[in-house]
């Protein structure tokens, strides 16, 4: 039943919705279709939606007697009393959209319900109903909106060109198609179909069909629940990154939202797996009790307020960490290549381009013609099966360890490693490559380990370990290190001296602006220690409140850079030692700045590259 809300209720609604541009109309109409339970929604636009917008759905339709009521301000079937505002379960609730749209356009609505023998057509020009007649119509609702701002020409001036307006509409409908994977959505722009989502309920299929980036096929699916709050979606492995947050889209209870709280959760979830300035791809859909959330904040409804921000951030971060740990702990060589070269393009690159090039030259065509001659398919299938059982085991471990992880909400990123099961004892070191990588293999994969990144990880964890330990292992040095700082920094020495002491430095003031270091952590060399302290002090100023654990973490992370020597040839014993240290790390899979320490090429991928199998 569509009713006009009482004044008492309508006054409580964040109102004043103005139709600013075509995308606002498309959003409102498509959301109405979703609220009507449609499983198929078609949106057609012309000229960026300025001259024509049509939205057709197969939803419940509107009773013939209520079709014109729907255009009244504050007329809605979705809420009734003020208390309903505390638990909003539909996308619409203000009863404003149709009224606002009809006021500035020529709008035609054709609608039919299952119960009614005929449909109804209502035509409204600039807010005035000029026709209200029975018509034959299929079940569902079609709304056609033409001539935006025909009666307020001044507002037309503020519209952008057709391309800009239609690109907003495409972006919006893409988001909706992802948020509602069980609704088949079609978008037609100037007569051409832009996309049709399959409507099969699968989020990833929806994403791939609307965003059309092949690399999105590699997204990892996310599904996680804790009591009343749950999350679904698709996220990228750390090897697929973007230079902006553009591909991070958040939904709450089916609503696309701009939520810093949720973005923070994503960021935390990928902590230390990303370079600074790189962002993962993440489509995340949070479902929570409507009562723990306020959407009645802004007329555009793109903002939400959570009752407990931190709980939401932590929940999302946890879900992402667990998923990444479970699904993929080591980057694949194929991914890495793809992510580097396919940066920001829509054309995906073949998974192993370097191998591809050789095949294309035709020089190995003989082998191509005789595929599988010596391939032991059975063996390969067996390996694949083993991989699958391994995955099952990993899943089990993740489940068991989840409890432990949840209990320890440390800000230092050393925990996820406990969840990742990877057997270092199986690794056999094969040698060194370019003086930069260690080559290794185990039963079914080949690995390259970036010694630089590995060293950084080891160094980071030792520092943090020291910082957290109660007994500091300090080695005295014969020649003290003297460091000088500027006055601004000395004035905050009471803040940072204890932190350095906690990390195992014996440091004391030594005259104005000067400090003397008499002892350093046991695992550092003097040069490393000196560089570390300088880096640390250089970075304090840029980091603000250094008593905060996150800031300390950042400082340690940054300062680790200082300690690692690039392009140093490592002797076999050193390689072994480094691998052992890495194996002992909580999270051996990425350096503290988020670069992978390892990449893997599985036997399966190798065989496929040689066309031994498909």
Ligand X SMILES: Nc1ncnc2c1ncn2[C@@H]1O[C@H](COP(=O)(O)OP(=O)(O)OP(=O)(O)O)[C@@H](O)[C@H]1O
Residues that bind ligand X (CB under 6 A): 2, 28, 32-33, 36, 57, 59-62, 70, 75-78, 92-99, 141
Rule CB under 5 A: say whether 197 interacts with Mg ion.
no
Rule CB under 5 A: say whether 95 interacts with Mg ion.
no
Rule CB under 5 A: say whether 92 interacts with Mg ion.
yes
User: What is the C-alpha to C-alpha distance for residues 472 and 63, in angstroms, rounded to an integer?
Assistant: 76
Provide, rounded to whole angstroms, the least separation between the CB of residue 32 and Mg ion. Answer: 4
In the sheet with 282-287, reading across from the earlier edge strand, the strands are 220-226, 229-235, 282-287, 248-252, 255-257
User: What is the C-alpha to C-alpha distance for residues 318 and 284, in angstroms, rounded to an integer?
Assistant: 13
User: What is the C-alpha to C-alpha distance for residues 234 and 243, in angstroms, rounded to an integer?
Assistant: 18
Task: Select the binding partner of residue 141 from ligand X, Mg ion, none (C-beta < 5 to 8 A, by kind).
Answer: ligand X
Query: Are 279 and 244 within 8 A, CB to CB?
Result: yes
Taken in order 278, 280, 284, 288, the sign of the CA dihedral is negative
Task: Select the binding partner of residue 207 from Mg ion, ligand X, none (C-beta < 5 to 8 A, by kind).
Answer: none
Provide, rounded to whole angstroms, the least separation between the CB of residue 70 and ligand X. Answer: 4
Q: Taking the mean position of all CA atoms in its chain, how far away is CA 190?
A: 32
Task: Select the binding partner of residue 33 from Mg ion, ligand X, none (C-beta < 5 to 8 A, by kind).
Answer: ligand X
Rule CB under 5 A: say whether 60 interacts with Mg ion.
no
Report how far apart the first and last C-alpha atoms of the chain are (Å, whole number): 58
**Exactly one of 70, 97, 282, 316 binds Mg ion (CB under 5 A); which one?**
97
Of the ranges 24-32, 237-245, 270-278, 580-588, which one interacts with Mg ion (CB under 5 A)?
A: 24-32
Considering beta carbons, is residue 105 or 336 the nearer one to Mg ion?
105
Considering beta carbons, is residue 172 or 537 the nearer one to ligand X?
172
Task: Select the binding partner of residue 77 from ligand X, Mg ion, none (C-beta < 5 to 8 A, by kind).
Answer: ligand X
Provide, rounded to whole angstroms, the least separation between the CB of residue 297 and Mg ion. Answer: 17
Considering beta carbons, is residue 257 or 320 the nearer one to Mg ion?
257
Task: Select the binding partner of residue 104 from ligand X, Mg ion, none (C-beta < 5 to 8 A, by kind).
Answer: none
Provide, rounded to whole angstroms, the least separation between the CB of residue 395 and ligand X. Answer: 42
Does residue 532 sit in helix, strand or coil?
A: helix
Rule CB under 5 A: say whether 32 interacts with Mg ion.
yes
Task: Select the binding partner of residue 595 from ligand X, Mg ion, none (C-beta < 5 to 8 A, by kind).
Answer: none
Considering beta carbons, is residue 75 or 524 the nearer one to ligand X?
75
Provide, rounded to whole angstroms, the least separation between the CB of residue 585 and Mg ion. Answer: 52
Rule CB under 5 A: say whether 59 interacts with Mg ion.
no
Considering beta carbons, is residue 76 or 587 the nearer one to Mg ion?
76
Considering beta carbons, is residue 131 or 343 the nearer one to ligand X?
131
- Closest by CA to 486, choosing from 412, 406, 432, 540, is 540
Does residue 552 sit in helix, strand or coil?
A: helix
Provide, rounded to whole angstroms, the least separation between the CB of residue 552 and Mg ion. Answer: 48
Phi and psi dihedrals of 29, rounded to 5? -70, -45
Provide, rounded to whole angstroms, the least separation between the CB of residue 142 and Mg ion. Answer: 15
Task: Select the binding partner of residue 94 from Mg ion, ligand X, none (C-beta < 5 to 8 A, by kind).
Answer: ligand X
Q: What's the burial of 291, exposed, middle or buried (CB within 10 Å: 0-12/13-18/19+)?
A: exposed
Q: What's the farthest any 2 CA atoms get from each other in the chain?
A: 97
Considering beta carbons, is residue 76 or 485 the nearer one to ligand X?
76
Considering beta carbons, is residue 76 or 432 the nearer one to ligand X?
76
Query: Are 135 and 121 within 8 A, CB to CB?
Result: yes
Considering beta carbons, is residue 95 or 265 the nearer one to ligand X?
95
Q: What's the burial of 239, exposed, middle or buried (CB within 10 Å: 0-12/13-18/19+)?
A: buried
Q: Which residue is nearest to ligand X (CB)?
A: 92
Query: Are 40 and 183 within 8 A, CB to CB?
Result: yes
The DSSP bridge pattern shows strands 598-602 and 331-332 to be: parallel
Task: Select the binding partner of residue 67 from ligand X, Mg ion, none (C-beta < 5 to 8 A, by kind).
Answer: none
- Closest by CA to 372, choosing from 110, 67, 612, 126, is 612
Task: Select the binding partner of residue 252 from Mg ion, ligand X, none (C-beta < 5 to 8 A, by kind).
Answer: none
Task: Select the binding partner of residue 581 from Mg ion, ligand X, none (C-beta < 5 to 8 A, by kind).
Answer: none
Rule CB under 5 A: say whether 77 interacts with Mg ion.
no
Considering beta carbons, is residue 75 or 312 the nearer one to ligand X?
75
Provide, rounded to whole angstroms, the least separation between the CB of residue 38 and Mg ion. Answer: 13
User: What is the C-alpha to C-alpha distance for residues 44 and 26, in angstroms, rounded to an integer?
Assistant: 9
Considering beta carbons, is residue 16 or 527 the nearer one to ligand X?
16
User: What is the C-alpha to C-alpha distance for residues 614 and 610, in angstroms, rounded to an integer?
Assistant: 9
DSSP-assigned letters across all residues of 374-428: T--HHHHHHHHHHHHHHHHHHHHHHHHHHHHHHH---SSTTSHHHH----GGG-E
Q: Please give the residue ranges that form the binding site for Mg ion (CB under 5 A).
A: 32, 92, 97
């Amino acid at each position: 039943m569509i009713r006009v809300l009482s004044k008492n209720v309508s006054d409580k609604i964040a109102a004043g919705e103005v139709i600013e541009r075509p995308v606002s109309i498309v959003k409102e109409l498509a959301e109405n279709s979703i609220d009507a339970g449609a499983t198929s929604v078609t949106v057609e636009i012309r000229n960026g939606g300025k001259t024509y917008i049509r939205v057709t759905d197969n939803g419940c339709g509107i009773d013939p007697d209520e079709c014109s009521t729907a255009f009244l301000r504050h007329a809605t079937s979705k809420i009734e009393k003020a208390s309903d505002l505390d638990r909003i379960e539909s996308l619409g609730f203000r009863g404003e959209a149709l009224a606002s749209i009809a006021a500035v356009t020529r709008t035609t609505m054709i609608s039919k319900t299952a119960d009614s023998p005929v449909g109804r057509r209502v035509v409204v020009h600039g807010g005035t109903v000029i026709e209200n007649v029975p018509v034959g119509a299929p079940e569902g609702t079609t709304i056609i909106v033409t001539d935006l701002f025909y009666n307020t020409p001044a507002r037309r001036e503020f519209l952008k060109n057709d391309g800009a307006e239609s690109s907003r509409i495409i972006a919006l409908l893409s988001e909706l198609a992802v948020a509602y994977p069980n609704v088949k959505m079609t978008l037609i722009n100037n007569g051409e179909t832009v996309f049709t989502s399959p409507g099969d309920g699968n989020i990833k299929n929806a994403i791939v069909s609307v965003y059309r980036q092949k690399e999105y096929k590699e997204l990892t699916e996310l599904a996680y629940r804790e009591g009343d709050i749950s999350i679904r979606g698709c996220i990228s492995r750390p090897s697929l990154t973007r230079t902006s947050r553009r591909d991070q889209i958040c939904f709450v209870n089916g609503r696309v939202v701009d939520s810093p709280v949720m973005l923070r959760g994503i960021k935390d979830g990928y902590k230390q797996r990303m370079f600074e300035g790189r962002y993962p791809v993440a489509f995340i859909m949070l479902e929570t009790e409507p009562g723990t959330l306020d959407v009645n904040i802004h007329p555009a409804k793109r903002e939400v307020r959570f009752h407990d921000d931190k709980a939401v951030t932590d929940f999302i971060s946890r879900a992402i960490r667990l998923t990444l740990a479970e699904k993929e702990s080591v980057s694949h060589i194929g991914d890495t290549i793809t992510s580097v070269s396919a940066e920001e393009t829509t054309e995906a690159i073949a998974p192993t381009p370097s191998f591809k090039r050789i095949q294309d030259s035709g020089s190995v065509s003989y082998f191509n013609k005789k595929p599988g001659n010596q391939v032991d398919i059975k063996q390969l299938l067996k390996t694949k099966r083993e991989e699958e059982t391994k995955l099952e085991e990993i899943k089990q471990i993740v489940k068991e360890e989840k409890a432990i992880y949840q209990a320890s909400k440390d800000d230092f990123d050393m925990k996820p490693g406990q969840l990742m099961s990877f057997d270092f004892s199986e690794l056999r070191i094969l040698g060194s490559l370019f003086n930069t990588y260690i080559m290794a293999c185990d039963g079914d994969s080949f690995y390259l380990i970036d010694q630089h990144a590995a060293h950084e990880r080891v160094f980071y964890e030792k520092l943090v370990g020291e910082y957290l330990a109660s007994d500091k292992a300090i080695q005295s040095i014969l020649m003290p290190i003297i460091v000088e700082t500027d006055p601004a920094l000395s004035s905050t020495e009471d803040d940072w001296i204890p932190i350095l002491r906690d990390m195992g430095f014996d440091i004391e003031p030594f005259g104005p602006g000067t400090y003397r270091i008499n002892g350093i952590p046991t695992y550092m060399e003097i040069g490393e220690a000196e560089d570390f302290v300088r880096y640390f002090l250089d970075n304090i100023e840029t980091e603000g409140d250094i008593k905060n654990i996150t800031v300390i973490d950042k400082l340690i992370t940054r300062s680790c850079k200082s300690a690692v020597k690039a392009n140093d040839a490592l002797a076999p014993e050193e390689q072994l030692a480094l691998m052992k240290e890495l194996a002992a790390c909580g999270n051996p899979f990425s350096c503290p700045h988020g670069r992978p320490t390892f990449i893997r090429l599985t036997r399966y991928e190798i065989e496929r590259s040689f066309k031994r199998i498909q």
